[in-house]
Structure formats: C-alpha cells, structure tokens
Amino acid sequence: MAFKLPNSKLPDVKTTIFAEMSLLAQQENAVNLSQGFPDYQPDENLIKYLGDFAKQGQNQYAPLFGIKELREEISRKFNLQYQVDYQPDSEINVTAGATQGIFTIISAFVEKGDEVIIFEPAYDCYEPAVILNGGIIKNIKLHYPNYEIDWNEVKNLVCEKTKMIIINNPNNPAAKILKQTDIDELTAIVKATNVIILSDEVYESITFDKQTSSYISKISRTKRKNLCCRLFWKIAAHYRLENRLCLCTGRSDERVPESSSVQCILCQYACTVCHC
C-alpha cells in the first residue's frame, strides 16, 4: 500500500510574501527590502566575542530561560530606557528568534475555541500559530491611508471567548506607529478582562522622521496582562546575529514553561558585552 501523507493542519497557508518578494528581488537583481536582514557582514567585534566565548567553553545548551547575565542586561535596559522594572529571574525569557517566541506564547495560552484578535495587515506567522492551537482568528483591518485602529470595533469584538489581542508596533508591513492614545484605548478595553496582550515590538528602533512610538511594555501596571517580544538583531542591526535571539517579557505569575532551550549560548554571551 502506497504511503499517503495526511491532510495538513494548515491547508490555506501558502508560500509567504517574504519568500515571494525575495525570489523576485533575486530574479530581477533588485535591492531586497522584503525581509528584515541587512546586506552586510556582522561587526568584527561581535565575531571576536563569539570566538572568545567559544574558547572559554561556552558551548553547551543555554539555560531554559536564557543566561542570567543577559536577562540582567535586558532588565537594566528596560529600566534605563523606559523606567520600568522587569525581574530577570521571573519576567524575562530569551528565545531563538521572535517567531519562536511568538509561537511559544500563543501555544502556551491559546486553547481550542479561544478567540484571538489580529490587526491586518499583519506578520504572517500569527494566524498559523493560532490555528495550530485550535484558536479562532478575529481580524480587524487597519484603516487606510494612515492605518488607524477603530477602537470601538475592537471593544465590540472583545467577549468572554477572547483570549488574546496581538499588536505589532511599529507594524510590519504597514509601518503604523501606535500613539499613547492607542495604548490607552487598548489598556482600557482589557482592564476588566482576562485578555492577554501579545505585543510584537521587534521594529522598536527602526523608526524615522523623529517619530516615537508608545509601547505596552513601558507600562508597569499592565505587566501581568502583556507579553512583549523584541529582537536583538533589529534593535542593534550593526551587531547582526544570524543566530537570532528574542527577548520576551511579562506575566511573572505564568512564566511560559514551553520555552525552548536551544538558543545559541554564544550569541547570548556576546549580547551581554555588545550592549544591544
């Protein structure tokens, strides 16, 4: 009997737009702006740090939540930059890239029948992760031309089945930057609920025209309701890490137990001295 592959859990998921645009850029010999990686080599200091730590014997699996030194550096960064305290031993996780961090968070909290609100256009890893965990997508379109959010629409969509709201700030691909009024609207909507906010903030430092964004991770009072993802190689592109690391913060009472322990330990130690 011939072997037949079972049906996919994600029958509607096709090739990503990033793969399509990268192929077109290659075919047309064009500058590739479709993916968030720089076209230059890592900083020589980073390469040196990686070699130094390898020679020191830092070649094993990293601890489950990331090395303590890096988590402490992350905590100091948040305190210095935003005057908010995240405890390195209970509120900070290091994962092998933002996509893995996002998938882990969704898998830890979203169960069959839970509803998850996603703003479109959105990074295309959100929906598959929700679907794989039995969740139900509730899409809200950002309103062109400024890609504004209708917060009344969000408020009306939140119900007892709502488990999570995913925001991407700054937004990829729309480049929408949330204002403080947006953050205030969002926190007011979830205040009397058990809804979790997953805030994808990997483009935190890639803003122009002197625009600054307001981030959910800055707000101490919402720590128990939000989980934030940030990516080191986008925060400090001059220290490009092909072995990507992501920091996840929030919810000290329900620290995500499904975190992977396969992050590159050399990169973690290198980040502690790069001051990313």
Judge whether 117 lies within some domain.
yes
Judge whether 187 lies within some domain.
yes
Judge whether 201 lies within some domain.
yes
Q: Find the angle CA(93)-CA(94)-CA(96) to the nearest 5 degrees.
A: 140
Task: Tokens for 180, please give them.
Answer: 């403080």
What does the alpha-carbon distance between residue 84 and residue 87 come to, in Å, rounded to a whole number? 10
Task: State mean pLDDT over 188-201.
Answer: 92
- 259 in Cβ contact with 100 (< 8 Å): no
Rg of the chain over Cα atoms, rounded to whole angstroms, equals 19
| Chain segment 103-144, per-residue pLDDT in tens | 989 999 999 999 999 999 998 899 999 999 999 999 999 999
Judge whether 149 lies within some domain.
yes
Which residues partner with 136 through β-bridges? Answer: 115
C-alpha count within 13 angstroms, C-beta hemisphere, residue 71: 20
Phi, psi torsion values for 76, nearest 5 degrees: -65, -40
| Chain segment 139-177, per-residue pLDDT in tens | 999 999 999 999 999 999 999 999 999 999 989 888 899
Judge whether 11 lies within some domain.
no
Higher pLDDT, 235 or 263: 263
Judge whether 103 lies within some domain.
yes
What does the alpha-carbon distance between residue 109 and residue 276 come to, in Å, rounded to a whole number? 29
| Chain segment 56-103, per-residue pLDDT in tens | 988 888 888 888 998 898 889 888 888 888 888 888 888 887 888 899
Query: 138: which residues sit within 8 A by CB, 6+ positions away?
Result: 115, 116, 117, 118, 157, 162
| Chain segment 225-244, per-residue pLDDT in tens | 678 877 665 544 433 343 44
- Residue 181's domain comprises 59-274
Judge whether 97 lies within some domain.
yes
| Chain segment 5-53, per-residue pLDDT in tens | 788 877 777 777 778 888 898 899 888 776 766 666 777 888 888 889 8
Q: Coil, strand or helix: which one is 131?
A: helix
CATH number for the domain including 127?
3.40.640.10
Q: Is the dihedral of CA 151, 157, 160, 163 positive or negative?
A: negative
Q: What pLDDT, on the 0 to 100 scale, is given for residue 240?
A: 37
- Number of domains the chain contains: 1
